[in-house]
Amino acid sequence: MSRPPYRLRWVTDAKEWNGLVQSFPGGEVRQGFEWGELCAARGWHSLRLALFDGPRAVAACAVLARSLPPVGSVMYAPRGPLWCAEEPAALTRLLEELHVAAWRHSAVFLRVSPGPDTGMEVEGALERAGLVALDDESTTWNTARAAQTVDLTVPEAALLQRMRRRFREHIASAARKALVVESSTSESDLATLHALLVSSGRQKSIPVRAFGHYRTLARLYGASGSLVLLIARAHGRMLGGILGVRFGRRMTMLHTSVRSGITEGLTHGVAPVMFWDFIRRAKASGCSVLDLGSSGVCLTPNESDSGWGVYRFKAGLGARLQAAPRYHDLVFRPTAYRLLRLGERQMMPRMWRIAAHAAVLAPWRLRRAAA
């Protein structure tokens, strides 16, 4: 049987690319144009490829490439590829072209990690195309397979009722405690949130990127009006914040933190109030899904998981755990691949812990902002 006459095109326009990504069921922010630009500021190179059947896009993938001298490079498609399940030949054609691109970048391997909404049938299609399935549920450098999401298609009253009773009590008493949540565009608020993230990262052994990363993120998504920065305050003092991005009908939480050592009876009440405001704003903006991200638990969560507390908190907001298809690697240089996989499993977790303990707020003005 002859192949359909697909038209292949590398896309460079931000608006066109985001529209293509959002036309697929699994399209989300990490396949978006701005995400590639954000990663480019950290040394990655972005490639954006789409296949068309007439005017309709039937497959697409944004790929990040990173040079690793003297080995070569690695390539990664976060929450990609995107494709129409009824067009299996399109996925095969897309992967063939990515194979060519990988050789041009001297890549050791290409890793793909489709999103939860792509559909599990993508696993069989990837393996038939020669990709190797991995058992890893998460890594130190890839988007975690599992994420907790809130279905926003139900009425607001139902969303509130789904929340833990204690959370609803905190929400009801927020006004009495002078606790308010405000939308912000202030770089000073962003800097203070970053300071809270660094403080929390030290406590939990989670490395936090330098403030320049957050400034770039705010600039890229703020330009399109898709950035959400929420700040919780009481009596004028910032107590916590949420940084998120709206992409199509999906709102994604990227970062959040609450100030430690809060007094005045607010210790456990800030986060539920802040997230309820986030949920309401996401729904009001027309989103159907709120993605609260990974919680650091296994696909079958249990109390021994390091992220059990975070998982329980998000579950108390009404979020359910969604598992994405497995990571798959397209290997080009087997010997180098085995060495990189060994380093990924053994060295990178150690480097992660070292980075977490070494996290510092270098700019003095950020320390001052957190005071």
Give the pLDDT of the chain (371 residues) as one tens digit per residue.
456 689 999 999 999 999 999 999 889 999 999 999 999 999 999 999 999 999 999 999 999 999 999 999 999 999 999 988 888 889 889 999 998 998 889 999 999 999 888 776 788 889 988 999 999 999 999 999 999 999 999 999 999 999 999 999 999 999 999 999 999 999 999 999 999 999 888 888 888 999 999 999 999 999 999 999 999 999 999 999 999 999 999 999 999 999 986 655 566 699 999 999 999 999 999 999 999 999 999 999 999 998 999 999 999 999 999 999 999 999 999 999 999 999 999 988 888 777 766 654 333 333 333 33
Q: Verify that 253 and 305 share a domain, yes or no.
A: yes
Which residues form the domain of 55? 7-143+325-332
Q: Is residue 341 part of a domain?
A: no
Tokens linked to 186? 């202030």
Residue at token pair 């926003």: 152
Q: Is residue 339 part of a domain?
A: no
Q: Verify that 165 and 133 share a domain, yes or no.
A: no
Q: Is residue 337 part of a domain?
A: no
Q: Is residue 58 part of a domain?
A: yes
Pairing of strands 107-113, 72-78: parallel
Q: Verify that 172 and 310 share a domain, yes or no.
A: yes
pLDDT of residue 333: 94
Q: Verify that 138 and 171 share a domain, yes or no.
A: no
Q: Is residue 264 part of a domain?
A: yes
Q: Verify that 317 and 172 share a domain, yes or no.
A: yes
Reference 364, options 208, 195, 185; nearest CA is: 195
Nearest-angstrom CA–CA distance, 184 and 250: 20
Q: Domain count of the chain?
A: 2
Q: Verify that 40 and 94 share a domain, yes or no.
A: yes
CATH code assigned at 253: 3.40.630.30
Which element (helix H / strand E) includes 58?
strand 56-68
Q: Verify that 57 and 178 share a domain, yes or no.
A: no
Nearest-angstrom CA–CA distance, 147 and 28: 13
Distant-in-sequence contacts of 236-243, Cβ < 8 A, 24+ apart: 238/189, 238/192, 238/193, 239/179, 239/266, 239/270, 240/196, 240/270, 240/271, 240/274, 241/189, 241/192, 241/193, 241/196, 241/274, 242/274, 242/275, 242/278, 243/190, 243/193, 243/214, 243/217, 243/218
Nearest-angstrom CA–CA distance, 177 and 171: 10
Q: Is residue 77 part of a domain?
A: yes
Q: Is residue 354 part of a domain?
A: no
Q: Verify that 186 and 68 share a domain, yes or no.
A: no
Residues 233, 257 contacting (CB under 8 angstroms): no
Nearest-angstrom CA–CA distance, 31 and 18: 8
Q: Mark residue 354 as left, alpha or beta (left: phi above 0; alpha: psi -120 to 50; beta: remaining).
A: alpha
pLDDT of residue 288: 97
Q: Verify that 139 and 152 share a domain, yes or no.
A: no
Residue type, 75: M
Q: Verify that 285 and 299 share a domain, yes or no.
A: yes
Q: Is residue 87 part of a domain?
A: yes
Residue type, 324: A
Q: Verify that 255 and 292 share a domain, yes or no.
A: yes
Q: Verify that 116 and 24 share a domain, yes or no.
A: yes
Residues 78, 57 contacting (CB under 8 angstroms): no
Q: Mark residue 142 as left, alpha or beta (left: phi above 0; alpha: psi -120 to 50; beta: remaining).
A: beta
